[in-house]
Amino acid sequence: MIEKKISIKSLQNPLVKHLIRLRKSRKYREENHSALLTERKIIQEVASSTRPKTVLATHEELLIPADHAYLVSEEILKKITALPAPEGVVAEFPLPKPASLKGKQWILALDQLSDPGNLGTLLRTALALGWEGVFLLPTCVDPFNEKALRASRGTVFRLPMRQGTWEELQTLSQENQLSPYVADIEGEKIENSPQEKKVVLLLSNEAHGLSPEAKKWGKRVTIPMPGEMESLNVAVAGGILMHQLRPIHA
């Protein structure tokens, strides 16, 4: 059911300013427990399992069931999204509740990732390859950042995820009886590692290298590269390692 539709005509409307702040500010997203989605297909996919708080659209046929629905001009959507050609609809969704990850056997842990595109790509790849959850350490970029949301294609609303400290990751790993692996260019070739049934894979920012905590975390593994490149983008390397550690039949 779509609630009563109201037209918004002013760029200075408080709701317009609210949605812009959701797009721009991590602190504001956390305070309001909301995130802004700006791509039509992702909005539709997320809305299949999570009801939006607010939907704004340029045409009535683009509106979807939400707590509040508004018709707006394209000019307003351009202001909200900062896109030259918005897709005719935006939606505010409640942030998913943090998952405990207890009992999960395939967990991706991320440390010091500052590029939202890389983070979003890794989340999308993890879901595609059957990894069961993601643990974000405090130094990671916000997964609800607009670029991360775009790269993940809304995966953050479907993949169990939590944020926490190194101590909490250690406790979770021990309770779930996970074998810890760390991606490291100087590590052992991944194909030489035994096939495990329960794994936590830690990926770090390739530009900064491993943090002191990551260096003590687990078995270091790398991808052999017979070609001329010395290293891979963390999103590419992470995808290969996730596939190698958890084959499709696992």
Give pLDDT tens digits for 21-80.
999 999 999 999 999 999 999 999 999 999 999 999 999 999 999 999 999 999 999 999
The pLDDT score that the predictor gives to residue 1 is 52
Q: What value does the mean pLDDT take over residues 88-94?
A: 98
Closest CA to 114 of 231, 39, 203: 203
pTM: 0.89
Closest CA to 87 of 28, 34, 44: 44
Three-state SS at 204: strand
The pLDDT score that the predictor gives to residue 42 is 95
Integer angstrom CA distances of residue 170 from 152, 166, 246: 26, 6, 21
Separation of CA 35 from chain center: 12
Q: What value does the mean pLDDT take over residues 158-179?
A: 96
The pLDDT score that the predictor gives to residue 2 is 54
Report the DSSP beta bridge partners of residue 65: none
pLDDT higher than threshold 50 for residue 216: yes
- CA-derived radius of gyration, the chain: 20
CA distance 41 to 205: 30
Domain covering 106-245, topology: Alpha/beta knot (3.40.1280)
Q: What share of the chain is helix, strand, coil (3-state, %, to 5)?
A: 35, 25, 40
The pLDDT score that the predictor gives to residue 19 is 98
Among the residue ranges 61-75, 98-112, 225-239, the one predicted with the least confidence is 225-239
The pLDDT score that the predictor gives to residue 187 is 72
pLDDT higher than threshold 90 for residue 7: no
Three-state SS at 220: strand
231's CB contacts (< 8 A; 6+ apart) are 185, 206, 225, 237
CA distance 204 to 166: 13
Three-state SS at 92: strand
195's CB contacts (< 8 A; 6+ apart) are 247, 250
Q: What value does the mean pLDDT take over residues 216-223?
A: 82
Closest CA to 16 of 95, 86, 65, 96: 86
Q: How confident is the model at residue 226 (pLDDT cuts 50, 70, 90)?
A: low
CA distance 108 to 202: 6
Q: What value does the mean pLDDT take over residues 224-242?
A: 76
More reliable by pLDDT, 18 or 185: 18
So where are the chain's domains?
A: 5-94, 106-245
In this structure, the number of other CB atoms found within 10 A of the CB of residue 86 comes to 21
Query: What is the second-level CATH architecture of the domain 5-94?
Result: 2-Layer Sandwich (3.30)
Q: What value does the mean pLDDT take over residues 137-141?
A: 92
CA distance 127 to 45: 15
Q: 148 phi and psi, to 5 degrees? A: -65, -40
The one-letter amino acid at 227:
G
Mean pLDDT estimate for the chain: 90
The pLDDT score that the predictor gives to residue 249 is 43
Percent of the chain with pLDDT over 70: 91
